[in-house]
């Protein structure tokens, strides 16, 4: 397989964490991933869910009009052919914050020429899953629950993933990964996502 640098220099990739906690391990992981992807030559968008005013999903609320920040999120998701999602693990699964954002982004807007297709922001997007957790599994259980959701939305999931175990010891003061296995694992994941997104776009064209 060609490296991501050779295969898709300039590929746009969206990286975000399913957490808004200030000292979140997964926000640190997303930041580290963004720097790695930039070094590989990708054009990186590092998204913060805290920048979006998105209420808890409620069909009655939606009937009054889809919030503007939901539409903005749809647009950003749709604009990127490759994503890395850094997913926290809460009670063995992914957090409500991430599920709520996905539920809103995948909900069709009736009468809208573009967004009446709820799956549009997700369809044919190559997604790499990563996670960081204080536990020994590093969030793998959250990934196992997130994967079917993304597949149901017609995303392409990268075969690779990475889980940062014992995350309290995995980052330095600058939120950089310190262990070689995490650095190499994240780099391999990013390379595969960029490569696959390039191949999928080439095939589609």
Report whether 55 contacts 62 (CB < 8 A): no
User: What are the tokens at 201?
Assistant: 């776009």
* DSSP 8-class letter at 51: G
**d(Cα 180, Cα 201) in Å, to the nearest integer?**
32
Q: Residue 50 pLDDT more than 60? A: yes
45, β-bridge pairs: 14
Phi first, then psi, for residue 187 (nearest 5°) are -65, -40
3-class secondary-structure state, position 85: strand
Q: Residue 1 pLDDT more than 90? A: no
pLDDT confidence of residue 201 = 86
Stated pTM of the model:
0.94
User: Which architecture, in CATH terms, is 4-204?
Assistant: 3-Layer(aba) Sandwich (3.40)
Domain map (residue ranges) of the chain: 4-204
**d(Cα 101, Cα 104) in Å, to the nearest integer?**
5
CA separation (Å) from 154 to 61, 127, 196? 26, 10, 15
Q: Convert the pLDDT of each residue in 108-136 to its tens digit.
A: 999 999 999 999 999 999 999 999 999 99
Strand (E) or helix (H) holding 59: helix 59-63
Polymer length in residues for the chain: 205
């Amino acid at each position: 397989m060609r490296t991501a640098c050779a295969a898709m220099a300039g590929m746009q990739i969206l990286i975000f964490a399913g957490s808004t906690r200030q000292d979140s391990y997964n926000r640190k992981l997303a930041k580290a991933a963004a720097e790695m992807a930039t070094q590989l030559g990708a054009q990186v968008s590092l998204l913060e869910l805290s920048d979006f005013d998105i209420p808890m999903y409620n069909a009655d609320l939606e009937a009054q009009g889809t919030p503007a920040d939901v539409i903005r999120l749809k647009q950003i998701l749709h604009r990127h052919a490759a994503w890395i999602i850094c997913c926290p693990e809460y009670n063995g699964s992914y957090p409500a914050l991430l599920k709520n954002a996905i539920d809103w982004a995948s909900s069709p807007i009736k009468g809208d020429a573009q967004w009446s297709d709820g799956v549009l922001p997700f369809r044919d997007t190559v997604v790499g899953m990563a996670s960081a957790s204080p536990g020994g599994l590093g969030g793998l259980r959250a990934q196992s629950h997130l994967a079917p959701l993304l597949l149901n939305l017609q995303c392409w999931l990268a075969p690779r993933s990475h889980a940062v175990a014992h995350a309290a010891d995995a980052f330095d003061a600058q939120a950089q990964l310190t262990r070689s296995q995490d650095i190499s694992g994240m780099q391999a994941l990013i390379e595969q996502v960029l490569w696959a997104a390039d191949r999928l776009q080439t095939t589609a064209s």
